[in-house]
Structure 1
Amino acid sequence: MALPGSIPTLQAHNSGNYTRVDNVFCTDTLLECAVTCNTVPSLQPMLTDHLPICTTFDIRIPIVDQRERWCWAKVNWDDFQKRLKELLETLELPSELTTETDFWRALREFDEVTTKVIAELIPKAKPSPYQRRWWNETLTAMKRRTSALSGKSHRHRFERDHPVHEDF
């Protein structure tokens, strides 16, 4: 219970006595966020016997990690593939890696080329503290289209055979 048991929630009209008849329940998760829960007799409306209950919760929006990151959704993969192929062809790698030293050298060179192509062709994402990583431009376009169809459907709500209802 969010409201402590010792706090009265009702003042009887005939006797003026304070009693406890109302409870404030919430989930355990929300209860952890409760800052205050108390009655406010000064806000009691006229001709009512129940006291208003004021509850304050600390429910801040979680802030997303704002490290700079690559925006993989906006990559032109054809250009990326062409550029990577160009730079990999310039490497003088042996056709067969026979020693551990050859392997580590080839891996380092491949990593450098890949990192260079990523830095050149992949845009950086603009960090937002409230971003939804699952949301993308395709969903934005679909939402706009749905909203537009919703408005048209509402405007033609009395015309049951209107084609906009099928589109929506």
Structure 2
Amino acid sequence: MVMALPRDMLTLQTHRTKRYTRPDNVFMLEQLLMHLIRCDVDATWRPPCTDHFPIITVINLPTMKTKPKPSYNFKMMEWVKFQEELEKRLLELQDPGEINLVSDLEEQIECLTRILQESIEAVVPVVKVCSHMKRWWNRELETLKKELNKLNRKSYLWKHTPEHPAFQEYKCL
């Protein structure tokens, strides 16, 4: 471990005596030291009613960006269509009869897995994963939001007539 904050750097001003001291240190691995851009105290960023000065440490670490894999949005899929597609593909599957060997069982499992994956690819909508994605959002919330927006527009049209039923409908939803 190596000290990244330069020696004799003042990091604290005591409340009582208003003297400056240097009790804070920043340590880092020697391997990271070559990536260190800056390690400094910035007294101008000091929050009110605090005695420590902020220590600004900037490290340049290269990161590899990965492309997010698209995934399937099972919440927005139509289950009836999926069931129909799956039934259609399962009819193509031959009756295995009695399974006595492990290899026969594994073959049937692979075939069933392939059919499930093909059905999913055919029916389930693909969604690109994003860090800002609302994973809790579903079709029911989407219809409720559309209904709320319609009532909002309707009540806005009647804004000069507060006793209009559109306002009550909007408030009830």
Counterpart for residue 138 of structure 1: 140
Contact in 1 for aligned 2:99/2:105 (Cα 8 Å): yes
Counterpart for residue 124 of structure 2: 122
Q: CA deviation at 1:66?
A: 3.1
Closer, same or farther: CA 95–70 of 1 in aligned 2, 3 Å: same
Distance in 1 between residues matched to 2:81 and 2:165, nearest whole Å: 42
Counterpart for residue 94 of structure 1: 96
Q: CA deviation at 1:67?
A: 2.7
- Report matched runs for 1:78-93 at 5 Å: 78-93=80-95
For 1:120, give the aligned amino acid: A
How many residues in Structure 1 have an aligned counterpart in Structure 2?
A: 116
Identify which of 22, 26, 46 aligns with 1:38. 46
Closer, same or farther: CA 148–115 of 1 in aligned 2, 3 Å: closer
Distance in 2 between residues matched to 1:5 and 1:143, nearest whole Å: 53
Identify which of 114, 137, 157 aligns with 1:112. 114
Distance in 2 between residues matched to 1:128 and 1:37, nearest whole Å: 34
Which has more strand, going by share of residues? 2
Distance in 1 between residues matched to 2:14 and 2:146, nearest whole Å: 50
Counterpart for residue 13 of structure 2: 6
| TM-score after normalising by structure 1 | 0.51
Identify which of 55, 72, 89 aligns with 1:70. 72
Distance in 2 between residues matched to 1:147 and 1:79, nearest whole Å: 29
Distance in 1 between residues matched to 2:85 and 2:75, nearest whole Å: 18
Gaps of 5+ in 2: 1-10, 19-41, 49-53, 55-66
Gaps of 5+ in 1: 9-17, 19-34, 41-54, 56-64
Counterpart for residue 165 of structure 2: 163
For 2:46, give the aligned amino acid: N
Overall identity of the aligned pairs, in %: 20
| TM-score after normalising by structure 2 | 0.50
Q: CA deviation at 1:148?
A: 5.1
